Structure 1
Amino acid sequence: MDQVMQLAFVLLAKFVVWVRPFLPTICFVFVWGVILLTTYNLVTGLRKGIDNVRQMHRIPCAGCQYATNSYHLKCSIRPSVAFSEQAIGCQDFESGILQDLSSKAY
């Protein structure tokens, strides 16, 4: 068993001596690879986040007159799809802004 360990350490020492001239290049490539991979992941995550925000802003329920402030019944017309991506392009959307303006006029 001692001979196997001794052989392993000798081979490891020879490998370290052989690889030593290339070590700065290997480290340089490794560090820049990590930097580029991190930058790519950050940019990709930021793009996905922006796309998600844009998609969520297309949901019209917050400005609809049929939307309620109750979490039990979010919408009186289509409660199953209210405030979800399925509500984009809802045929029953009625702007609540006009109702608010007409009630404040008096």
Structure 2
Amino acid sequence: MYVEEILQHKVAVNQKLHRLTQAESKQEYSQQQEGLNISDLAIALSPFSFVLIWAFFLFIFHKIRTHADNKIAFSINGLHQVPCKNCQFFSNNHYLKCAVKPDIVLTEAAINCSEYCPKKAKLPRNKLFS
């Protein structure tokens, strides 16, 4: 008889617990349906945040590149006066552009180069045979 009482008590407790669990789950479900929850909002805003992050990244990249371009840019107005390309010691070689003064070749310091020697003018072909 003692065992039957314990079993009935356990069954009653389990039924009461089951009812409480069902009531709590219904209550949570009704609260979730009232409005948007966090996961729905995150899913809805994820494409917008993705575009926003890329726009911010591209803006920063553009600012860095503009700053680097402004740093690298130099004035070439005085370089048209440089006589290096008409000098006989000038070669358009990547490794050694000038055989005499390679440190100042094609710079503003080469405008008054003491070693400047103009290339000899080639005679036009039609004057050679006339």
TM range (shorter): 0.3 to 0.5
Higher-RCO chain (CA-CA 8 Å, sequence separation at least 6) = 1
Greater CA radius of gyration, 1 or 2? 2
